[in-house]
């Protein structure tokens, strides 16, 4: 589980930290920085997939097919106020080496990467990188500027130090790497890296690779798809085939019908998957009275609800989801059902979810545990700097919530006013 994300000079964040739980809900006005947080998560995701910086900021094609769409704004807009560098530090809890399945024994791995931005539109480059496993006394690897590469950006790349096999704090060889790609995705296969550290690297990368960014589109969800395509696309692509795979499990098929019945006035008893001439299938809801409603005719809200369920229950479900506007298209009286499902799976450690919302009602529906991790993303007045504060860390928030509903506080603007007052008090002290 990702427990902490620290941003320095990234997008509109000059210096901000996001603390995460199994379910982390982000609230804030438009242009406050919620989408910038999504970009930060996408950066570390692209890094874990082995992409170089040009691909992370641009595009990645495989055999003519687009595999990756770059970070919004590219290198021109990634650094705070047009600066020449940014830094992202991520902390992840992973099962400790040798720990049995379900064991509470965890290793805390921290990774820092700093990126330089060339002022003349040249390529972005790594200026610092290090990874620390808290199960051992020294860093798994750390950046060391080469004397032969004293310039900020050199074709000779940079050096990293890795520990010796003894694991006694004495560093072994210094290894040179190109500065066009994070070391994280290159070091795991290097012969000079001790086996213990390779496992730490693999555990960290595996966790970040298992990321999905979901913002379903009705048009994408209504498209037919081939059976066996079990990865739900970011826009809801392959919805029919993912639901088809879920329905191969009788219990999940029944549970899915019950969820739909709770959400809508329909009385769904089964699902059908009608193939077209090409072999692609289309999801059809079958009601007890014989009424059939295909994905073409289903409401946008029903499809979005199905997509979110498919993301969590699907056979190729990710370990981490960033959900844009979780409440979008879901009736407020039914939103609690979706939250119930997400929280249930998050508590069981099956998935970690970060979700953005503008819905005051959604905040009111959060469990006490989930509310502890809900965060406000905000800006003060006309200042460009984005800030992050856990709602329960806002001064007097706990006392105020004893008498007032969180939804109404959010709706009234009290959250923003409270942090603005606290920040002004701190500045004048």
pLDDT means per 10 residues, the chain with 429 residues, are 95 95 91 92 92 90 77 90 93 70 70 88 86 76 55 61 58 78 81 75 84 91 93 91 93 87 83 93 92 91 88 85 87 81 85 90 87 91 88 89 86 87 68
Q: Tell me: do 26 and 64 sit in the same domain.
A: no
Q: Tell me: do 308 and 426 sit in the same domain.
A: no
* Predicted local confidence at residue 78, as pLDDT: 93
Considering 210, 228, 246, which residue would you say is the last residue of a domain?
A: 210
Q: Tell me: do 292 and 305 sit in the same domain.
A: yes
* Predicted local confidence at residue 147, as pLDDT: 39
Domain that includes residue 222, residue range:
212-318
Domain assignment present for residue 342? The answer is: no
Q: Tell me: do 66 and 147 sit in the same domain.
A: yes
> 174-208 burial, b if ≥16 CB within 10 A, otherwise e?
ebebebbbbbbbbbbebeebbebbebbbebbbebb
Give whole-number Cα distances, 13 to 21, 30, 88, 205, 377, in Å: 21, 15, 11, 25, 10
Q: Tell me: do 203 and 75 sit in the same domain.
A: yes
Q: Tell me: do 165 and 138 sit in the same domain.
A: yes
> 389-416 burial, b if ≥16 CB within 10 A, otherwise e?
bbbeebeebeeeeeeeebbebbeeebbb
């Amino acid at each position: 589980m990702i427990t902490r994300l620290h941003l320095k000079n990234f997008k509109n964040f000059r210096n901000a930290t996001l603390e995460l739980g199994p379910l982390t809900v982000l609230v804030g006005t438009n242009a406050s920085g919620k989408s910038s947080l999504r970009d930060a998560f996408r950066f570390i995701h692209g890094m874990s997939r082995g992409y170089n910086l040009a691909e992370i900021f641009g595009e990645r094609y495989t055999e003519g097919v687009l595999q990756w769409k770059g970070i919004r704004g590219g290198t021109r807009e990634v650094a705070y106020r047009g600066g020449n560098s940014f830094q992202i530090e991520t902390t992840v809890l992973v099962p400790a080496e040798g720990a049995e399945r379900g064991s509470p024994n965890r290793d805390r791995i921290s990774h820092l990467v700093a990126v330089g931005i060339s002022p003349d539109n040249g390529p972005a480059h790594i200026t610092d990188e290090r990874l620390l496993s808290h199960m051992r006394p020294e860093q798994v690897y750390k950046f060391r500027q080469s004397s032969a590469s004293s310039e900020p950006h050199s074709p000779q790349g940079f050096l990293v130090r890795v520990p010796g096999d003894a694991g006694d704090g004495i560093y072994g060889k210094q290894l040179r790497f190109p500065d066009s790609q994070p070391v994280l995705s290159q070091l795991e296969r290097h012969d000079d890296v001790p086996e213990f550290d390779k496992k730490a690297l693999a555990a960290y990368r595996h966790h970040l690779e298992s990321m999905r960014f979901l913002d379903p589109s009705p048009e994408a969800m209504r498209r037919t798809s081939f059976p066996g395509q079990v990865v739900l696309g970011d826009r809801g692509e392959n919805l029919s085939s993912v639901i088809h795979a879920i329905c191969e499990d009788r219990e999940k098929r029944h549970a899915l019908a019950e969820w739909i019945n709770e959400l809508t006035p329909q009385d769904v008893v089964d699902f059908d998957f009608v193939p077209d001439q090409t072999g692609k299938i289309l999801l059809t809801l079958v009601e007890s009275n014989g009424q059939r409603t295909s994905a073409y005719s289903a409401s946008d809200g029903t499809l979005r609800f199905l997509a979110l369920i498919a993301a969590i229950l699907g056979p190729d479900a990710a370990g981490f989801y960033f959900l844009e506007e979780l409440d979008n298209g879901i009736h407020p009286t039914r939103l609690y059902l979706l939250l119930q499902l997400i929280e249930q799976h998050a508590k069981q450690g099956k998935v970690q979810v970060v979700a953005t919302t503008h819905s005051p009602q959604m905040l009111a529906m959060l469990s006490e545990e989930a509310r502890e991790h809900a965060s406000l993303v905000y800006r003060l007045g006309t200042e460009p700097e984005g800030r992050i504060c856990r709602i329960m860390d806002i001064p007097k928030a706990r006392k105020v919530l004893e008498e007032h509903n969180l939804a109404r506080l959010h709706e009234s603007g009290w959250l923003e006013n409270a942090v603005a007052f606290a920040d002004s008090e701190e500045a004048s002290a």
